[in-house]
């Protein structure tokens, strides 16, 4: 693979950093570009609150961070920036990597947003691999290495049978800039004890949003302190954003069109706005959901209602399955899962590819690539990730699929529901799209305004969509300039 020389690298990064200043003024991706913090399996969260940097830290060392690949047996220490603690699970995973690459040591450091990259560059010890919730912020600032040259020269990576969609989230044009460190599904958790109490049949795999609403009504009994939906307005807001897509009134989830450059729930799309009022009606008319504020006023201050056994439905992510399957989880009721319901047009399940990037400033890029490739394509490593609850299978490989099905926590839930959700994913576009943070912020308004403040979708969401569409357009224009400069410098370096 050809490397950029000083003349090719430095101007590209300088232009990228300059262009990123404009983006810093109009928004940032400091909570992952979706308006939400990503919780891990241990219950901790990424709480990155760093605004996009406008300094030139990436420039200052750009001409010294693309050395030739080290000899195969030369000791290398990689710095992996993540928000997960280095516990016993991680020790086992890194030991598996070191069994194949004994010369490559991996040190884990805490990810505190892009300031982690800036500080390590300034110290002369840049990060090699890092996690982030989304791609746009670090990419727009020149911190992300293009992985396509590594992929093109690596037939072993090319031969791995990735499932459709796994490699697409972090692709810009024909180039891949990030890999999925793990993928998760959105699922509906339901309380089986409440179903039995009110004589309600469990949800079928092909159930609909209308079915869910009617079941929630039957499970609501204020005197008995049971409710149809959990009081976590924020999570329910993300579920609500899938309704217009399921009903055929937007082209993707989050209200996006297929090109991912426009949010479609604008004032002229009344059908989509009707869909977004689904939970407005549930909160205000059916009263089968107490939003977070109302639940606090009513004295439910000890946490969310589903975990307390007082709500029938909870929308959550699949990594919660292993934790809640643990006898020590604290849940004192029987539960199971269902896929996200069908609308009038389709039934598709929310999914997310969680990103991992190679740092553009890394001094050990070949070793960093080996680590990222091992993470994503080594069967034993993938199985260990699944054992720890960190991913669903990323491959059609029969051994990986069989191993996943044998994991007790996943084997204990409704297998038909799990298989449907897994086989019908719609991957979260905001994790990889340019300006994805703005799409996420627009979706966050559903929770903030429609569900929590009980304001009709017609009254504020069209305006917010138009505002975010303008910011997405600005981000696209910036990206075009960034990638044009990169292409010119790559061509000059060959």
Question: Which pLDDT score, from 0 to 100, does residue 491 have?
Answer: 81
Q: CA–CA separation, 439 vs 469, rounded Å?
A: 8
Percentage of the chain lying above the pLDDT 70 cut: 85
- Confidence class for position 32, pLDDT limits 50, 70, 90: very low
Least confident of 86-100, 329-343, 404-418, 455-469: 86-100
Average pLDDT, the chain: 85
Topology of domain 6-184+353-411+475-493, CATH = D-Maltodextrin-Binding Protein; domain 2 (3.40.190)
57-60 LR contacts (CB < 8 Å, sep 24+): 57/117, 57/118, 57/121, 57/122, 58/13, 58/16, 58/17, 58/117, 58/118, 58/121, 58/141, 58/142, 58/143, 58/360, 58/361, 59/10, 59/13, 59/14, 59/17, 60/121, 60/122
Q: CA–CA separation, 451 vs 278, rounded Å?
A: 10
In this chain, the answer to whether the domains covering 6-184+353-411+475-493 and 185-351+435-473 adopt an identical fold is yes
Question: Which pLDDT score, from 0 to 100, does residue 479 have?
Answer: 83
For 113-164, how does the pLDDT look when each residue is reduced to its tens digit (9 = 90+)? 899 999 999 999 999 999 998 898 898 888 999 999 999 999 999 999 999 9
For 208-219, how does the pLDDT look when each residue is reduced to its tens digit (9 = 90+)? 999 999 999 999
Pairing type for strands 179-191 and 311-317 reads antiparallel
The CATH class that applies to domain 185-351+435-473 reads: alpha beta
More confident: 106 or 478:
106
Compute the radius of gyration of the chain from its Cα atoms: 23
Q: CA–CA separation, 139 vs 19, rounded Å?
A: 11
Question: Which pLDDT score, from 0 to 100, does residue 401 have?
Answer: 94
Least confident of 97-111, 294-308, 369-383: 294-308
Percentage of the chain lying above the pLDDT 90 cut: 68
User: Can you say whether residue 487 is alpha, beta or left, with left for phi > 0 and alpha for psi between -120 and 50 degrees?
Assistant: alpha
Compute the average pLDDT of residues 372-387: 96
- Ranked by mean pLDDT, the top range of 15-24, 437-446, 477-486 is 437-446
Least confident of 7-11, 265-269, 378-382: 7-11
> What are the boundaries of each domain within the chain?
6-184+353-411+475-493, 185-351+435-473
Least confident of 33-37, 175-179, 187-191, 202-206: 33-37
**Per-position DSSP letters for 362-412, written without gaps between them:** -S-HHHHHHHHHHHHH-HHHHHHHHHTTS----B--HHHHHHHHH-HHHHT
Question: Which pLDDT score, from 0 to 100, does residue 89 have?
Answer: 84
For 295-352, how does the pLDDT look when each residue is reduced to its tens digit (9 = 90+)? 988 888 767 899 999 999 999 999 899 999 988 888 999 999 999 999 999 998 999 9
Does residue 485 register a pLDDT over 90?
Answer: no
- Confidence class for position 71, pLDDT limits 50, 70, 90: low
Question: Which pLDDT score, from 0 to 100, does residue 354 have?
Answer: 93
Question: Which pLDDT score, from 0 to 100, does residue 72 have?
Answer: 57
DSSP tag of 261: S
Question: Which pLDDT score, from 0 to 100, does residue 249 have?
Answer: 98
User: Cα–Cα distances in Å, from 272 out to 28, 62, 310?
Assistant: 27, 46, 31
Question: Which pLDDT score, from 0 to 100, does residue 237 have?
Answer: 87
Question: Which pLDDT score, from 0 to 100, does residue 38 have?
Answer: 35
Compute the average pLDDT of residues 2-18: 32
């Amino acid at each position: 693979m050809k490397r950029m020389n000083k003349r090719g690298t430095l101007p590209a990064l300088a232009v990228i950093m300059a262009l990123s200043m404009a983006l810093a003024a109009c928004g940032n991706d400091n909570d992952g570009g979706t308006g939400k913090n990503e919780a891990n399996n241990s219950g901790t969260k990424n709480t990155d609150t760093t605004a996009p940097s406008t300094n030139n830290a990436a420039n200052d060392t750009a001409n010294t961070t693309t050395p030739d690949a080290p000899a195969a047996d030369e000791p290398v220490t990689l710095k992996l920036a993540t928000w997960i603690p280095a516990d016993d699970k991680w020790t086992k995973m890194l030991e598996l990597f070191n069994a194949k690459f004994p010369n490559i040591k991996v040190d884990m450091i805490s990810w505190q947003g892009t300031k982690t990259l800036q500080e390590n560059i300034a110290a002369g010890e840049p990060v090699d691999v890092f996690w982030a919730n989304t791609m746009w912020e670090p990419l727009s600032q020149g911190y992300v290495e293009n992985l396509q040259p590594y992929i093109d020269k690596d037939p072993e990576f090319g031969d791995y049978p990735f499932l459709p969609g796994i490699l697409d989230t972090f692709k810009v044009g024909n180039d891949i800039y990030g890999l999925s460190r793990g993928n998760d599904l959105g699922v509906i958790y339901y309380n089986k004890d409440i179903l039995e109490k009110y004589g309600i049949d469990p949800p079928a795999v092909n159930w609909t949003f209308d079915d869910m609403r009617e079941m929630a009504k039957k499970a609501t009994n204020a005197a008995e302190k049971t409710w149809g939906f959990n009081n976590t307005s924020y999570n329910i807001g993300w579920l609500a954003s899938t309704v217009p897509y399921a009903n055929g009134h937007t082209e993707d989830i989050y209200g996006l069109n297929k090109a991912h450059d426009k949010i479609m729930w604008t004032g002229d799309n009344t059908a989509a706005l009707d869909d977004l009022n689904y939970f407005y009606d549930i909160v205000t008319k059916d009263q089968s959901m107490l939003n977070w504020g109302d639940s606090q006023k009513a004295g439910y201050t000890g946490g969310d209602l589903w975990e307390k056994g007082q709500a029938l439905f909870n929308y959550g992510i699949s990594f919660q399955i292993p934790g809640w399957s643990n006898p020590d989880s604290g849940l004192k009721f029987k539960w199971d899962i269902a896929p996200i319901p069908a609308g009038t047009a389709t039934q598709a399940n929310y999914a997310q590819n969680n990103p991992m990037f190679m740092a553009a400033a890394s001094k050990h890029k070949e070793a960093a690539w080996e680590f990222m490739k091992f993470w994503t394509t080594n069967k034993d490593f993938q199985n260990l990730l699944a054992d720890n609850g960190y991913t669903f299978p990323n491959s059609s490989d029969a051994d990986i699929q069989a191993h996943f099905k044998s994991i007790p926590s996943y084997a204990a839930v409704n297998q038909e529901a799990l298989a449907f959700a897994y086989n019908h994913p719609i991957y979260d576009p905001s994790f990889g799209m340019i300006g994805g943070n703005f799409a996420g912020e627009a979706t966050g308004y559903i929770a903030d305004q429609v569900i929590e403040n009980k304001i009709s979708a017609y009254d504020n969401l069209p305006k917010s969509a138009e505002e975010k569409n303008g910011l997405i357009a600005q981000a696209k224009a910036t990206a075009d300039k960034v990638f044009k400069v990169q292409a010119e410098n790559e061509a000059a370096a060959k």
